[in-house]
Structure 1
């Protein structure tokens, strides 16, 4: 694919610009309706952005903040998260975020019957579920015996970009695939490809235009570049740690090998001394004292020598 004027939507700054700002909430509404296939009376009509900080006590830590948190006109809350790299326990973190958002509703009067559904959507540029072949998976709480959906207040959707099999715009057959292609290949998409991707989807076009680097101010672009640098620095630091661990492992292996070799050499030397002493009819107790071998070891040596 040709060099593109579009920035990477997986970048945290770009992602929030497209899906987390008031001026672009029509993009977010369109995206949510498309991913969940909400149409007609079920379609989201409006959303209200909420504070993304889930835990004030640890608000300064990145892992305590979701990318986008909003509430639709029916009260359902939506968490949208962009996950760039595989992190241990991400699926647990997703459930934690959902639980925090759910429990926070009860703080307003403990009217549990008024609690609204939480829908968590994660777009991951990594493999989250190695045993699943499909790039999109949907998770609910079900009765194990009947598969009935009685507990309806938690719904999770995970989109794993590496599993998306289509690599060309003319392979896209529906709006969900267009969105996934957008996340995976926007920063590699050229003008001609864009026209074929957009078709009649005006909102998709708007999402691409928000990524057009020529529509970004210098300050905005610097923030984007700083985020790129932060990710690269983290990746480099991780790579260095892995290299250091490998080197330490090799050094430890060499040291252990030398120690084991020395120990084996000492034992072999003791055995040779014991053999010589046995040849000269030295008694077992003296051999034990001189070599450090045990009585049993000397007796085993005698049996071997007699065979």
Structure 2
């Protein structure tokens, strides 16, 4: 019987595949495909591998991947499935935390590392056509780059319509979107790291303990989304109430309170308290 594969976009699964010390080639392949450095990355050291039960159940915990390359670059990768309306500022915040994470208060600022944040998103965020966009600090007039110390990547999975077999990042995004995609399956024979990722995904999907962690993470995500939706609904209701009060104020002295109440839904008591 075929195993039902977990969704690799779930951050718990994503971290198990791309942030595993047992499978560094997968992460290296993904990083080279995304960053496209002049000199390919050949070695990475993972810096945050914690995956305790409490950490998985905490809906506010970030199951991100933090890695350091052999050349000293710090790279933070986050898989985000829901648009919480804060992704750009969130990315900048975590870039800043990552950038200063190794600074001890001694030594020259020149020694601070080049830091890259990669945001893999299962929603559309940017007003850009391409599914992968890179941002740097540059002069707005002549486009000269001030520094490459800051680099932000946004990969918007829904924007990729078809897998480009000549682009390794497109292949990885295809895997994340649907590991059972026919093109992905055919490419496993050509891309060893992709096959390794698929095998690791299958292993996780068969493991009862991993299945329990997968369920817990999905539950924590659902709890977080419900809390966000509830907060948004309350905000909308407050906004609607404020709008009704403003309309009522503008109609005071023109229409009777009874008619204003009928039109706005406000009670006569609320109308009496309007200044």
TM surpasses 0.5: yes
Deviations 1:95-142 (A, max 9, x none): 12112222233316322222220011110011221x211111011111
1:110 counterpart = 2:107: yes
Shift in alpha-carbon separation, 1:61–1:215, aligned structure 2, 3 A: closer
Q: What's 1:155 paired with?
A: 151
1:181 counterpart = 2:180: no
Q: How many residues align?
A: 251
Give the TM-score taking structure 2 as reference length: 0.76
Shift in alpha-carbon separation, 1:52–1:107, aligned structure 2, 3 A: farther
CA contact (8 A) 2:15 2:65 kept: yes
Q: What's 2:135 paired with?
A: 139
Question: Out of 28, 32, 41, which is 1:44 matched to?
Answer: 41
Deviations 1:165-213 (A, max 9, x none): 12xx6x6443211111111122xx26x5553232311110111122216
**Alignment partner of 2:155: what SS?**
strand
CA contact (8 A) 2:15 2:63 kept: no
Instruction: Give 1:14 shift.
Output: 0.3
Question: Out of 242, 245, 255, which is 1:264 matched to?
Answer: 255
1:201 counterpart = 2:201: no
Give the TM-score taking structure 1 as reference length: 0.69
Matches of 2:9 and 2:46 in 1, distance apart? 20
**Alignment partner of 1:22: what SS?**
coil
More strand per residue: 2
The CA RMSD over aligned residues, in Å, is 3.5
Q: What's 1:27 paired with?
A: 26
Shift in alpha-carbon separation, 1:243–1:64, aligned structure 2, 3 A: closer
Question: Out of 189, 200, 211, which is 1:210 matched to?
Answer: 200
Matches of 2:241 and 2:221 in 1, distance apart? 30
Instruction: Give 1:49 shift.
Output: 1.2
CA contact (8 A) 2:14 2:79 kept: yes
Runs of 5+ consecutive residues of structure 2 not aligned to the other structure: 51-56, 260-275
More helix per residue: 1
Deviations 1:39-96 (A, max 9, x none): 7xx111111111379xxxxxx9866746011101010111111111112221112112
1:12 counterpart = 2:11: yes
Question: Out of 228, 231, 240, which is 2:221 matched to?
Answer: 231
Runs of 5+ consecutive residues of structure 1 not aligned to the other structure: 54-59, 269-307
Question: Out of 160, 163, 170, which is 1:164 matched to?
Answer: 160
